[in-house]
Amino acid sequence: MKRFHIKFFSIIIILISTLSSGLCIVLNNDSGSTVDVCNPFLSTTAAESAQTEGFVHTVGRLTVVIDVGHGGIDGGVKGKSGVKESDINLAIALILERHFVEGGFNTVLTRRDENGLYGLATKGFKLRDMNARIDIIKDANPCVVLSIHQNAHSATYRSGSQVFFQKNIASGEKLASYIQKSLNKRLGFENRYLSGDYFILKKGIPASVIVECGFLSNAADEVRLQTEEYQNRICTAIYRGTLDYLLNK
Ligand SMILES: [Zn+2]
């Protein structure tokens, strides 16, 4: 059976089986727009007409954790202008959350304000902060974990987004590959996704990636990372890359 037909039947089966539970389906057409069909009373006829318009994605109501890097006394890396990574991470995470909510996903953010997760700013705060994030992720039981960060490098010419995964975790590597591809396509870079040494990745949580959205050590990145227009382009790319992963995993 052709893959296209398998997808069509999976839409019908999910719809029929979830009419009472209110599960959600996200359908994306070839033009790139997303159609949210969360209505639990959606008929199979609607699904059928969706199919004829070339929809390609089917997703149940899944939870996405957006881990918002740093916060509080830990501002992360800084740009020349003094802008803190922690503030850009939060701005991008809140936009990214909107994309997933509009797509019918449950979302969990590890922080929603400038504060860290460590409690008192005393010795060991960083480990407490990181462990609190892990607890949130485990409680949420997410389909993917997207940890949002900004990069810095002594080679100031380096720019653009780069995605990191934990070596030997196939789901994380696959998610990283789809998001990197989407970021490169939508932002015009040719960066490679890489394995990386990050606390959250080392916890072995499936489908976890670190998205370093740009380099605060690069003058052009520092400026554009602070504009809502560029932040939105990054979020569109992360969102679409995640959908591609969920469709193809
Ligand atoms: Zn960071």
Q: Please give the distance, rounded to the nearest whole angstrom, from the Cα atom of residue 65 to the centre of ligand 1.
A: 16
Q: Give the separation between CA 169 and CA 146, rounded to whole angstroms.
A: 15
- What average pLDDT does the segment 177-196 reach? 98
Q: Please give the distance, rounded to the nearest whole angstrom, from the Cα atom of residue 84 to the centre of ligand 1.
A: 10
Q: Please give the distance, rounded to the nearest whole angstrom, from the Cα atom of residue 157 to the centre of ligand 1.
A: 19
- What average pLDDT does the segment 89-97 reach? 98
In a domain, 174, yes or no: yes
Q: Please give the distance, rounded to the nearest whole angstrom, from the Cα atom of residue 234 to the centre of ligand 1.
A: 16
pLDDT score at 60: 56
In a domain, 33, yes or no: yes
Shared domain check, 38 and 129? no
pLDDT score at 61: 84
| Proportion of the chain above pLDDT 70, given as a percent | 76
List pLDDT tens digits, range 137-146.
999 999 999 9
Q: Please give the distance, rounded to the nearest whole angstrom, from the Cα atom of residue 70 to the centre of ligand 1.
A: 6
Shared domain check, 224 and 153? yes
DSSP letter assigned to residue 2: -
Shared domain check, 74 and 34? no
Shared domain check, 180 and 243? yes
For the four alpha carbons of 153, 158, 159 and 164, in that order, the dihedral sign comes to: negative
Beta-carbon contacts of 197 under 8 Å, excluding residues fewer than 6 positions away, are: none
In a domain, 58, yes or no: no
69, pLDDT greater than 70: yes
Shared domain check, 114 and 17? no
Please say which residue of 17, 33, 52 terminates a domain. Answer: 52
Vertex 155: Cα angle to 175 and 193 (nearest 5)? 10
In a domain, 138, yes or no: yes
Q: Please give the distance, rounded to the nearest whole angstrom, from the Cα atom of residue 77 to the centre of ligand 1.
A: 7
- What average pLDDT does the segment 111-132 reach? 97
Shared domain check, 104 and 184? yes
Shared domain check, 127 and 202? yes
Shared domain check, 84 and 39? no
Which residue segment(s) compose the domain that 19 sits in?
3-52
Q: For the chain, how many structural domains are there in total?
A: 2
Mean pLDDT of the chain: 83
In a domain, 57, yes or no: no
pLDDT score at 148: 98
pTM summary value: 0.78
pLDDT score at 155: 98
The residue among 75, 76, 79, 88 whose CA lies nearest residue 217 is 79
Structure tokens at 84: 């803190």
Q: Give the separation between CA 226 and CA 219, rounded to whole angstroms.
A: 12
Q: Please give the distance, rounded to the nearest whole angstrom, from the Cα atom of residue 76 to the centre of ligand 1.
A: 5
